[in-house]
């Protein structure tokens, strides 16, 4: 089972399906084989639910998101200390980073290759380095 699935299953009450196989092509996940989960997909069932059912589901999802937000980390990167993937900048990979300051320096170094000096200068002051690291 992927490490992030194990981590979530171990540290939250979020139901995580068992993963049997992951098929990759050209470095991208194409297929994931997991436990069969009975029932309709939420996007198919949503219009058939009454208001109370929708509220109940929304509340449950809200609780799951809060559990994920409560998971704290000691680094910026993958759970197994793998590289961080920054998709907003053409899927650049780097790290792991032990602090937000290291992460910001990595971003600024990459932006510096293609940005004007003035943009890089002001971006440096816009980036903060005192956020709590969450997973």
**Per-residue model confidence as pLDDT tens digits over 44-75:** 999 999 999 999 999 999 999 999 989 887 77
**pLDDT value, residue 74:** 77
C-alpha span between 10 and 65 (Å, rounded):
16
**Contact present, 7 and 16 (Cβ < 8 Å):** no
Residue in 31, 2, 4, 40 with CA at minimum distance from that of residue 19? 2
**pLDDT value, residue 14:** 95
**pLDDT value, residue 51:** 96
- Show Cβ contacts of residue 64 under 8 Å, excluding neighbours closer than 6 positions: 12, 14
**Per-residue model confidence as pLDDT tens digits over 9-49:** 899 999 988 888 888 888 788 898 999 888 999 999 999 99
DSSP annotation of 18: P
On the question of pLDDT at 132 being above 80, the answer is no
**pLDDT value, residue 108:** 76
**pLDDT value, residue 42:** 95
């Amino acid at each position: 089972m992927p490490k992030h699935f194990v981590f979530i299953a171990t540290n939250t009450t979020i139901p995580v399906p068992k993963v049997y196989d992951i098929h990759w092509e050209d470095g991208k996940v194409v297929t994931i084989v997991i436990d069969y989960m009975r029932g309709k997909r939420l996007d198919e069932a949503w219009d058939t639910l009454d208001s109370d059912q929708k509220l109940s589901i929304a509340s449950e999802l809200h609780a799951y998101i809060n559990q994920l937000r409560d998971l704290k980390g000691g680094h910026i990167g993958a759970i197994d200390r793998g590289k961080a993937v920054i998709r907003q900048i053409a899927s650049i990979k780097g790290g792991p980073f032990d602090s937000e300051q290291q992460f910001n320096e990595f971003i600024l170094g990459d932006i510096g290759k293609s940005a004007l000096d003035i943009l890089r200068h002001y971006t440096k002051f816009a980036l903060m380095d005192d956020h709590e690291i969450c997973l």
